[in-house]
Structure 1
Amino acid sequence: MAFLIAKVSLKHMSWPAHRTEQRPWTAQNGRGTRVGVVPEQVAVSIPARIAELDFAAKRTISASEAALIAVTHLEAGQGQYSPPLREFLLRGEAVASSRIEHIDAGWRAFSKAFGGAASRPEAQSQVCAVRALAGLVETAATGRITEASLLSAHRVLIAPEWEKAGRYRTVQTWIGGSDYTPLNALYVPPPPELVPELMADLLAFVARGDVPILVQAAIAHAQFVSIHPFVSGNGRIGRALVSAVLRRRGLTDRVTVPLSSVMLADTSRYFAQLAAYRAGAAEEFVLYLTLAAVYASEGAIDSARTLTTLPRQWRDRARPRAASADEALLANLLDHPILTIAGANALTTTTDSATYRALERLVEAGILEVVSDSKRNRIWAATDILAELDALNAAIGRRTTAGLS
């Protein structure tokens, strides 16, 4: 793995704050009449163009270096600890990002949806988040992050809401306050007619190679969610953009740093840091993200070590016969923690009945759990791996609380 550590410009300058403009407001679909007062104008926030700006950082240099070391340690040790860590962290990051938006079905419902069974909308949404993140990171590995790749990721993310998927918004949106008008909103992003040019400017910034990697990732995320280019899904795509920048710049090659677990641990702090960025305190947000990368990488390394101990524990509990279907399943369970009968058969290369018996023995041993008992689509999940996903979030949360306090 090779990546460039760019020098941080120390010349004196401040990052530009968003400016505010008054724009005419018209109630959409007549909904504004439900809340009494309807504003004639709304104060929108308009981010500065950043494509060619230099970032002046003084306090973030040592934090950036520590973060680079932590992420590099996680990436370099991935093969040593466990090849399945790649999928483990990808799923963990996407699900934690969904939880920030209060989309949480639990790991068992997620496993059911991931296996293809009918499940709750929240579980389906979390599965879409995994696929959107994976797709965006994969395309970033080519060396480019494009408008097309962002729109594609958004299309995957909100596939159930097909009429909004993969398109920039054409209406004014806002965050917080009433569902009907932007009165008392926490944040009103730029009007829709400015979104295409602001996104083009952001993508030009993301394409640069002379900005420190974590600085670029942090500012790209804060700028993206401030532009708020979509009607929905902005937070999840914006957090996926961080992982995509790290992959494009070569800092990561196999792992996804579970940064959303840090943000989830204290969402109030995370949103406050975004507000500070909009006021011109970009350095504060960069420092926040670099520290998050340290906590997330350290927690992920601990989880990787735990994962490598599981196969031996499973064999001790199940005591499979040599060359049996049970042994074949256990040997592949880290790579395939969610199983259908078709997937299990592919691993055991035996008959359905033999595979079913092996799966049932692993259920009796407490290694697998049936998460969908449908006759058409029975699904099993490895309980220890599901538990470790929750443990990873909790461990990163403890690091975050201790470190950021």
Structure 2
Amino acid sequence: MKRYPPECVHAEMDRLLSFINDETALDPFVKAAAALLRFVIIHPFEDGNGRISRAITDYLIRLNSGDAFHAFNISTGILKDRNSYYKQIQAASKDNPDMDVSNWVVWFLTMVSECIVQSRETLKKVLSTTAFMKSLDPNEFNSRQMSVLYRLADGSFFGKLTTEKWMKMTTCSKTVAFRDIQYLVRKGFLIPSDESGRNRGYYFNPKVVDRDE
């Protein structure tokens, strides 16, 4: 990757700050893409340049895009596809004699778009889970059931729920775990698996969340 010699860093950073503070009309996402690339190329510090560049990018988007875009984080999108990020930086900085950053901007905008979509899906799930938990009558469920239902609803529990797993999650006896589970089965929150005996497990019924939306 292209690097500026130490004696040029201050001048290049001044230029970058002038660009960042310039209020001339420019799409905030394009401006953020350009600022990120420029900072990484200048590489003013021994360590932490990537983190700082992403913080600058988040700042520019939040500053110019309004509250609607506060829910997503640039680092999430970049770190999700780190190899592609480094390839794009390399192509835009070193293997680019004409300094054409179009491909970099397109990659950046695509990444941001994916971040926004993912953020909205996450927010939707959080709101759905919150609404579901609020809909539960605490007089009908004990604390163990409420705790496990939350984990099932927000997707943090994977796989088949068994009596043994319930015992570990709630630190209760096997008899209590079985009774807790059967109550949720009768209420329609859990669906028994097709296995029988010791292999039997239970799955969360997603319809109980959907009906509260």
TM-score range, shorter chain: 0.5 to 0.7
* Secondary structure, aligned partner of 1:366: helix
TM-score, normalisation: structure 2:
0.60
CA contact 1:246–1:252 (8 Å) conserved in 2:
no
**Closer, same or farther: CA 200–304 of 1 in aligned 2, 3 Å:** same
**Closer, same or farther: CA 301–270 of 1 in aligned 2, 3 Å:** same
Matched, 1:302 2:121: yes
Q: Which aligned pairs between 1:162-177 and structure 2 lie closer than 5 A? A: none
**Closer, same or farther: CA 254–265 of 1 in aligned 2, 3 Å:** closer
* Secondary structure, aligned partner of 1:232: coil
Which whole-Å CA distance do the structure 2 matches of 1:285 and 1:305 have between them? 30
**Counterpart for residue 206 of structure 1:** 20
**Closer, same or farther: CA 268–301 of 1 in aligned 2, 3 Å:** same
Where do 5+ consecutive residues of structure 2 fail to align?
Answer: 158-213
CA contact 1:367–1:383 (8 Å) conserved in 2:
yes
**Closer, same or farther: CA 383–255 of 1 in aligned 2, 3 Å:** farther
Q: How big is the shift at 1:192?
A: 2.7
* Secondary structure, aligned partner of 2:148: coil
CA contact 2:71–2:119 (8 Å) conserved in 1:
no
1:340-399 Cα deviation digits (max 9, x unpaired): xxxxxxxxxxxxxxxxxx9xx36872267xxxxxxxxxxxxx7966849xxxxxxxxxxx
Matched, 1:191 2:23: no
Q: Which aligned pairs between 1:68-107 and structure 2 lie closer than 5 A? A: none
Matched, 1:365 2:147: yes
- C-alpha root-mean-square deviation of aligned residues, in Å? 3.1
Which whole-Å CA distance do the structure 2 matches of 1:385 and 1:224 have between them? 38
**Counterpart for residue 320 of structure 1:** 138
Which whole-Å CA distance do the structure 1 matches of 2:45 and 2:154 have between them? 34
Which whole-Å CA distance do the structure 2 matches of 1:238 and 1:362 have between them? 44
**Closer, same or farther: CA 287–233 of 1 in aligned 2, 3 Å:** same
CA contact 1:243–1:256 (8 Å) conserved in 2:
no
CA contact 1:199–1:227 (8 Å) conserved in 2:
yes
Q: How many residues align?
A: 152
CA contact 2:61–2:69 (8 Å) conserved in 1:
no
Where do 5+ consecutive residues of structure 1 fail to align?
Answer: 1-186, 327-357, 369-381, 389-405
Give the letter aligned to residue 14 of structure 2.
A
**Counterpart for residue 92 of structure 2:** 277
Which whole-Å CA distance do the structure 1 matches of 2:53 and 2:155 have between them? 26
1:211-254 Cα deviation digits (max 9, x unpaired): 22211110100111111112211111111111111122234466
Which whole-Å CA distance do the structure 2 matches of 1:310 and 1:303 have between them? 11
Which whole-Å CA distance do the structure 2 matches of 1:286 and 1:248 have between them? 19
Give the letter aligned to residue 232 of structure 1.
D
Q: Percent identity at matched positions?
A: 23
Which whole-Å CA distance do the structure 2 matches of 1:383 and 1:258 have between them? 26
* Secondary structure, aligned partner of 1:365: helix
1:45-84 Cα deviation digits (max 9, x unpaired): xxxxxxxxxxxxxxxxxxxxxxxxxxxxxxxxxxxxxxxx
Q: Which aligned pairs between 1:16-95 and structure 2 lie closer than 5 A? A: none
Which whole-Å CA distance do the structure 2 matches of 1:216 and 1:287 have between them? 12
Q: How big is the shift at 1:288?
A: 0.9
1:70-104 Cα deviation digits (max 9, x unpaired): xxxxxxxxxxxxxxxxxxxxxxxxxxxxxxxxxxx
**Closer, same or farther: CA 362–242 of 1 in aligned 2, 3 Å:** farther
